[in-house]
Structure 1
Amino acid sequence: MTVAGLPFDVVDTAAAAAALSRAVRDGQRLFLSTPNLNFLVAAQADAAFAESVHASDLSVADGMPVLWLARLQGTPLPERVAGSTLFDELRCGAGRAVLGRPIKVYFFGGPPGVAQKACDVLNAEHAQGRGHMLGVGAQSPGFGSVEEMSDSAVIDAINASGADFLVVALGAKKGQAWIMHNRGRLTIPVVSHLGAVVNFVAGTVQRAPLAWQRLGLEWLWRIRQEPQLFKRYWSDGWALLRLVGQAVARRKGTG
């Protein structure tokens, strides 16, 4: 199904986690996209960005506004499948019966030092018997172009790590573009841009409480911790009103 022109798989968190676990077990390539409201808005004006979602193997609704729009257009989705929630499900052992071993994770992106800290956290959890992931590599490539972040040394280091899951954190547009640019060269089974995950795992940013998430107020919590996000959320909020109007109009037109 589609919402505001982007495709979404009709899955819940458990089904998405199972799909990722199977891909890791089988060594099957799986490009996971996690469109939220910002994706919907950006894709309206950026065909290459929209294509990156259409080209993904699994696309989940990472944001309550996506669910609201789906419901308004008469094609409801089962639940929000946030990328960070999906990662945490696997981190806590979802798929353990399928794999029988920890999931090996490589972090690419994030502020200097944060990716390595995220690796260290996963390894400490596993050593204490509290986690089902291992950090096997980290790079913080800075602010270069997609091409500059895609030289052979970068890709070779990622592939040599033996990771099962490559977590990219470069900003949504650049992260999706980097994955599209390098898909054919990467040998990691599961690849996804999960921008906030590296910060959440490292503990440099705290995720919103569950009650805030369920009310669709995670954006407000994020602004409290990262004030620089205000401009993006303000712009996306106005765009949401336009998307709501379009969804209502389409439903009336087909009613």
Structure 2
Amino acid sequence: MKEKFLGVDVSNFTYDQLKNNIISDINEKRKSFIVAINPEKILQAQKDRGLLNLLNKATYQIPDGVGILIASRLNGGSIKERVTGIDMLLALCEQASLHDKSIFLYGAKPNVAEEAKDRLIELYPNLRVAGVLDGYVKDQEQIKETINEAKPDILFVALGSPRQEHWIVDHMEELDVSIFQGVGGSFDVLSGKVKRAPAGFQKLGLEWLYRLIKEPWRIKRQIKLPTFLVKVWKSKK
């Protein structure tokens, strides 16, 4: 079930529905691709037809951003719950630990993914991590061989967006993996290199405000939200 904003699909599944769907996809050996959608990415796709097509190729476009919830309300839609990229990663790791599925971490700077792996195992002691590979390995054949030898059920790719999504679409048919998710800077957060917003900000959907307070230069990105909402409103007419 999906809603469309300025030509970009967004899934209206909750975390619980997504978790059930993903485990089913693994068990049925269906390849699925998860991409996080926010207003900035949708606006970028207005200028880049290739990016728009790329985003719409995903199996699940998760609503990562309070702006998507507001836009859904404007359109009379049913998206009620933010599904952030890092929380989706954590939810999938939890499910993997419960259902004996394995994960692979690919991307980020050397040692960051290893530290992210250690943190995930602290959170989910039964989690099977099939492998880890940093994003500075250049040999694509080596990358694919390493992942295929590990045979993970879930592959998290942290190469930055949209590079990670392009990489997934280009290689998913060559990889012995069921679930693919582009996770941006999530390994940096898990490793402790980057501090996430306090729980109160997360709960209220105000992580963007926390980041803005910490990094005022982000104002240029944050002012895109009103632009996005105005465009969505106008597209209704």
TM-score under structure 1 length normalisation = 0.83
Q: What pairs up with 1:135-174 in 2 under 5 angstroms?
A: 135-142=129-136, 149=138, 151-174=140-163
Given candidates 164, 168, 177, the residue that maps to 2:166 is 177
Distance, in Å, in 2 between the alignment partners of 1:22 and 1:150 is: 33
How far residue 31 of structure 1 moved from its aligned partner, in angstroms, is 0.7
How far residue 223 of structure 1 moved from its aligned partner, in angstroms, is 4.9
Instruction: Report the equivalent of 1:70.
Output: 72
Instruction: Report the equivalent of 1:234.
Output: 219
User: Partner amino acid for 1:136?
Assistant: A
Instruction: Report the equivalent of 2:235.
Output: 250
How far residue 224 of structure 1 moved from its aligned partner, in angstroms, is 5.7
User: Partner amino acid for 2:161?
Assistant: A
Given candidates 64, 82, 85, the residue that maps to 1:83 is 85
Is 1:188 paired with 2:177? Answer: yes
Given candidates 97, 106, 121, the residue that maps to 1:108 is 106
Please identify runs of 4+ aligned residues in structure 1 that moved more than 4 A.
none
Distance, in Å, in 2 between the alignment partners of 1:164 and 1:120 is: 19
Are the structure 2 counterparts of residues 71 and 88 from structure 1 closer, same or farther at C-alpha, using a change threshold of 3 Å? same
Distance, in Å, in 2 between the alignment partners of 1:120 and 1:215 is: 29
Are the structure 2 counterparts of residues 80 and 207 from structure 1 closer, same or farther at C-alpha, using a change threshold of 3 Å? same
How far residue 239 of structure 1 moved from its aligned partner, in angstroms, is 2.3
Is 1:222 paired with 2:222? Answer: no
> For structure 2, which runs of at least 5 residues remain unmatched after alignment?
none
Distance, in Å, in 1 between the alignment partners of 2:111 and 2:65 is: 28
How far residue 72 of structure 1 moved from its aligned partner, in angstroms, is 1.5
User: Partner amino acid for 1:113?
Assistant: N
How far residue 52 of structure 1 moved from its aligned partner, in angstroms, is 1.5
> For structure 1, which runs of at least 5 residues remain unmatched after alignment?
143-147
Distance, in Å, in 2 between the alignment partners of 1:56 and 1:73 is: 22
User: Partner amino acid for 1:139?
Assistant: L
How far residue 137 of structure 1 moved from its aligned partner, in angstroms, is 1.4
How far residue 74 of structure 1 moved from its aligned partner, in angstroms, is 2.2
Distance, in Å, in 1 between the alignment partners of 2:177 and 2:221 is: 33
* Aligned length in residues: 235
Contact 1:93–1:131 (Cα < 8 Å) also in 2: no
Instruction: Report the equivalent of 1:25.
Output: 27
| Secondary structure of the structure 2 residue equivalent to 1:34 | strand
Q: Which moved more, 1:183-192 or 1:42-51?
A: 42-51
